[in-house]
Structure 1
Amino acid sequence: MNIRQQTETICASLKPEDTAIQPVDYVSPPKWHLAHTTWFFEQFVLVEQCADYNVFHPDFGYYFNSYYNTLGDRVVRADRGLMTRPALNEVLAYRAYVNKHLALFLDKGVSEATARIIEIGLQHEQQHQELLLYDIKYIFGHQPSFPRLEYQIQLLPETVQPHFVKIPEGVYNVGHKGEGFCWDNELGQHKVYLHDFEISNRLVTNSDYIEFINSGGYKDFNLWHADGWDFIQQNKLAAPMYWHKVNDKWMYYTLQGFKALDFSAPVSHVSFYEAFAFAQFKGMRLPTEFEWEVASSQFNYGNVWEWTNSAYLPYPKYAKPDGAIGEYNGKFMVNTMVLRGASVATPNNHSRPTYRNFFNPEMRWQFSGIRLAK
């Protein structure tokens, strides 16, 4: 139950009011995360496997299903913040109830198939732990008091001397191979042909990005995709999320509070559009996801998720699992871009060279950054 407890540890310093708010549609209330990750185990393990199990509340399946059409109706994502009920104490009681029955179920022994579902549930909860940190930072980072979260994560400075790693032309194997856990979108190891390329051993830093801003990067339409240019114009963007210019000094919000910008830290909370424009400004480009994977052993990663120039698509011979679990990845393989690596918010066992994260190109609230290629 250590993974289950970690979710509550992240939320431990939150006030009840903090857990119910939803400032934008893609930010879910922390209370909803606490309940949804519990519903997953109740629905996919206890309801499916225990004939004598009584659900905690008959309406919680409707409240806390996320996007599983197979399992019926649910509250619209943008309306999650309208639910003042159930209250936080009821959600925590729900977690305790499901944990108790899950422990009793596990004591009896489980089949290999059920163990696989439980493993997926734990991996799923760890993904939500990272999303929780994104969402809490958004909730706190858009308040005038800029609250501090007691659960701390911090970006590390980029201290290595910058250079470009040369990767020779050739045919390379990509995709997950081995006995460890992976998601279905990583499977189907296959060969890709790559031209020779070079990739930076270091992430783009805040100092690097200020050069882009000061040089008019947000005002030069030539650097941007048409969609990206429309996006920054419509939203009046001129810096990464959480950056503020105060008395001609750059400040930014971190989960440690409102601070002077750390020039040596990697730039974070930038969209794909911004990452692309910065690469254009430098006369370079973003790596493809396969270039990134092949070169990943040549540099350190894990500070921020790194945008690639690859659309999120299925690998050859990709097979979507049957049932509700099949909705986990496959149906999102459209209009999204791949990020590779991991971030300071990522649980350790989710950081591997083959992990394929994906977001819409305009998203900025995740810990996302830039590595250049040429």
Structure 2
Amino acid sequence: MLKQAYETVRRRSEAICAPLKTEDYVVQPIVDVSPPKWHLGHTTWFFETFLLLPHLKGYTEFDPQYNYVFNSYYESIGARVIRTNRGNLSRPAVEDIMRYRKHVDTAMATFLEQELTTAMQALVTLGLNHEEQHQELLYTDIKYILGHNPLFPAYDKNRKDPPLLNNQPGSWLNMKAGIYEIGFNGEGFCFDNELGRHKVYLTDYRISSALVTNSEYLDFIQAGGYQDFRFWHAEGWDWVNNNQITTPMYWYNIDGQWMHYTWQGLQPLMPDAPVAHVSYYEAAAYAAWKGYRLPTEFEWEAVAPQLAWGLRWEWTESAYLPYPGFTKAPGAIGEYNGKFMINQMVLRGGSEVTSPQHSRITYRNFFHPSLRWQFTGIRLAR
């Protein structure tokens, strides 16, 4: 089962990149976007570094320089190319990285035929979930790369938009005050930041059954929401003015018609689709304009079984902090989540580009409040 899961995940990463031209693999327009070829190399480096080199007897490292090139942020593993320079890596070439993947996949096939300890199985599973995270990043980074090309080239003209999961607009779910249990519980994989199941007290609240749509967000724009400081956090208002933000990412008003960049290229704005690519600042400002607020991550998790979720990562009003009893694992693996628990906001749910079987109610995504290249959306609470 583990070997089959490995093969499935690894094939999917390369399938995501299949529509790209070779030149697309190298581009890094901003620091938050990594070149697609770097994702393919980094996810491969993870298996080589944490599994093959220490645990497969006789394994030959593909290229000793790759540890410097494809280490992302693991201080325990050594020096690395700084993040802003990933786009300067014309070498290794795409063909070299594909050979690297094949080299590691061949060795992993041998490794997975062995009798693995529980710890080794857990590390393989973490590696697969790590690659699934990068699959979502591949999609969002590719969209940014192509969506900021002045020609607005399509990623895949035959790619269909996912079916809308929204319930009828205007429907609110009532949640009673009480004590709710939060955090992962049960069998299967979770990240360490989901552990530490604990009780929280929530007062009465109401939450929208539907995500905010493009047409609803357009009302905010046309009402002057981006020009009215009253709805914005001070930091958000500075962000709007310093960066001249007037719309969600990928929105354009061309000759009076609203358009947005999609997988098929530049297309007319779909009014009923959930708004995407908004920052926490924008989400909070829209909620304030409507006279509502964003839910906390605890409110979201408590009501999630009653929601249709999974098209957008949903901003919450919760700072990314550790759960009670959180401890970091020793070594490099302990750097995975804990050291980022500052100055970030939690998002819940999933998105249309989240890998299959990679979503769960307890999943805690997190980003800085200004970021919006992910498929981030809005659900209101009050």
In which range does the TM-score fall when normalised by the shorter chain? over 0.9
Aligned to 1:11: 17
Q: Secondary structure at the match of 2:124?
A: helix
Q: Secondary structure at the match of 1:110?
A: coil
CA distance in 2, matches of 1:81, 1:91: 15
Q: Secondary structure at the match of 2:179?
A: strand
Aligned to 1:261: 269
CA distance in 2, matches of 1:338, 1:153: 29
Asked if 1:210 corresponds to 2:218, the answer is yes
Aligned to 2:50: 44
| 8 Å CA contact 1:56, 1:94 repeated in 2 | yes
CA distance in 1, matches of 2:141, 2:232: 27
Deviations 1:269-298 (A, max 9, x none): 000000000000000000000000001111
Superposition pairs of residues 43-62 of structure 1, within 5 angstroms: 43-62=49-68
**Are the structure 2 counterparts of residues 159 and 334 from structure 1 closer, same or farther at C-alpha, using a change threshold of 3 Å?**
closer
Q: Secondary structure at the match of 1:292?
A: helix
CA distance in 1, matches of 2:165, 2:65: 48
Out of 345, 361, 365, the residue aligned to residue 373 of structure 2 is: 365
Asked if 1:2 corresponds to 2:8, the answer is yes
Q: Secondary structure at the match of 2:318?
A: strand
Aligned to 2:256: 248
Q: Secondary structure at the match of 1:250?
A: strand
Superposition pairs of residues 308-347 of structure 1, within 5 angstroms: 308-347=316-355
Give how far 1:159 is off: 5.0
CA RMSD of aligned residues (A): 1.0
Asked if 1:21 corresponds to 2:27, the answer is yes
CA distance in 2, matches of 1:303, 1:159: 9
Aligned to 1:144: 150
Instruction: With the length of structure 2 as denominator, give the TM-score of the two structures.
Output: 0.96
Supply the AA of the counterpart residue of 1:160: N
Q: Secondary structure at the match of 2:357?
A: helix
Q: How many residues align?
A: 374
Q: Secondary structure at the match of 1:348?
A: coil
Q: Unpaired segments of 5 or more residues in structure 2?
A: 1-6
Give how far 1:367 is off: 0.2
CA distance in 2, matches of 1:93, 1:51: 21
Supply the AA of the counterpart residue of 1:123: N
| 8 Å CA contact 1:251, 1:261 repeated in 2 | yes
Asked if 1:350 corresponds to 2:373, the answer is no
Aligned to 2:4: none
Out of 246, 257, 271, the residue aligned to residue 238 of structure 1 is: 246
| 8 Å CA contact 1:336, 1:361 repeated in 2 | yes
| 8 Å CA contact 1:158, 1:266 repeated in 2 | no
Q: Secondary structure at the match of 1:94?
A: helix
Aligned to 2:3: none
Give how far 1:37 is off: 0.3
**Are the structure 2 counterparts of residues 153 and 318 from structure 1 closer, same or farther at C-alpha, using a change threshold of 3 Å?**
farther
Give how far 1:56 is off: 0.2
| 8 Å CA contact 2:180, 2:202 repeated in 1 | yes
Supply the AA of the counterpart residue of 1:5: R
CA distance in 2, matches of 1:203, 1:175: 23
Identity of aligned residues (%): 54
Q: Secondary structure at the match of 1:349?
A: coil
Asked if 1:154 corresponds to 2:153, the answer is no
Out of 65, 81, 87, the residue aligned to residue 87 of structure 2 is: 81
Q: Unpaired segments of 5 or more residues in structure 1?
A: none
Aligned to 2:314: 306
Deviations 1:44-82 (A, max 9, x none): 000110232110001000000000000000000010000
CA distance in 2, matches of 1:68, 1:247: 48
| 8 Å CA contact 1:158, 1:264 repeated in 2 | no
| 8 Å CA contact 2:167, 2:308 repeated in 1 | no
Out of 221, 224, 233, the residue aligned to residue 225 of structure 1 is: 233
Give how far 1:185 is off: 0.3
Give how far 1:226 is off: 0.6
Structure 1 stretch displaced more, 50-59 or 219-228: 50-59
Asked if 1:180 corresponds to 2:178, the answer is no
| 8 Å CA contact 1:276, 1:286 repeated in 2 | yes
**Are the structure 2 counterparts of residues 371 and 159 from structure 1 closer, same or farther at C-alpha, using a change threshold of 3 Å?**
closer
